[in-house]
Amino acid sequence: MLEAINLSKTYNGQPAVDALDLHITGGEIYCLLGANGAGKTTTINLFLNLTQPSGGEARIDGMSVVDNPLETKKKLAYIPENLSLYPTLSGIENLQYFSGLSGIKLSVGKAGDLLVQAGLQTEAVGNRVSGYSKGMRQKVGIALAIARDSAVLLLDEPTSGLDPSASNDFAGLLGKMKLRGAAILMTTHDLFRAKETGTRIGIMSKGRLVEELKASEVSHSDLERVYLHHMRA
């Protein structure tokens, strides 16, 4: 569902992403680890077609994101580190508005049900977003992905700044999206969450994918050891 084929991006002669090959299927959570500047966010932006590749290709459901920008965007939902919502609107109104941009009309009741399904408290769905915590905002993003029945989720540091309880809740929501068959690519600095949530874990350094591991086959301590080895190399 998500493919990077010899994907590269260079800025001023310096590689931000260097010959990346990546394949993520439906029902899989791929966690991408790496230090700041490793190329994680650039990878996400290449899949979003927010920046043009210097070489290679990014594909969603077999389609080039450069050649098919509208078709590929219809298949994905994107949740950044800080999700931008309209603070004076309620959770329901935000969900109705952003779903409407995708051509999906939601009743008040349906929007509320989706937000509760995404983990938002029933009493909060009609409140203004200005009073939401970061974790609550992220749940609005998950509700939007559910409403759109998104086949692909791109998540850029979505748990950064969340307390352990909210981070655990968010991981549970990703697990539900995985069971729905979504292909999920998540960048993170959180080794524990990557191990507990991911199907596979990739480690990036200086724009290159230097290691790939199955989460079920590596312990927390081994993941930390491998990660630190590449960060110090």
- 56 in any annotated domain: no
End-to-end Cα, the chain, rounded Å: 32
Question: Is 63 domain-assigned?
Answer: no
Q: Which tens digits make up the pLDDT trace of 123-152?
A: 999 999 999 999 999 999 999 989 988 899
Q: Which helix (H) or strand (E) holds 15?
A: strand 14-24
Q: Using an 8 Å Cβ cutoff, are 90 and 126 in contact?
A: yes
Alpha-carbon dihedral sign for residues 56, 60, 64, 69: negative
Asked whether the predicted pLDDT for residue 197 surpasses 90, the reply is yes
Q: Could you read off the pLDDT of 86-132 as tens digits, one per residue? A: 999 999 999 999 999 888 999 999 999 999 988 899 999 999 999 99
155-182 per-position pLDDT tens digit? 999 888 888 888 888 888 899 889 999 9
Tell me, yes or no, whether 30 lies in a domain.
Answer: yes
Give the residue, 2 or 168, on which the prediction is more confident: 2
Residue 205 is predicted with a pLDDT of: 95
Number of domains present in the structure of the chain: 1
Residue 187 lies inside a defined structural domain of this protein: yes
Instruction: For tokens 């994918």, name the residue.
Output: 209
Question: Is 201 inside a domain boundary?
Answer: yes
- CATH number, position 83: 3.40.50.300
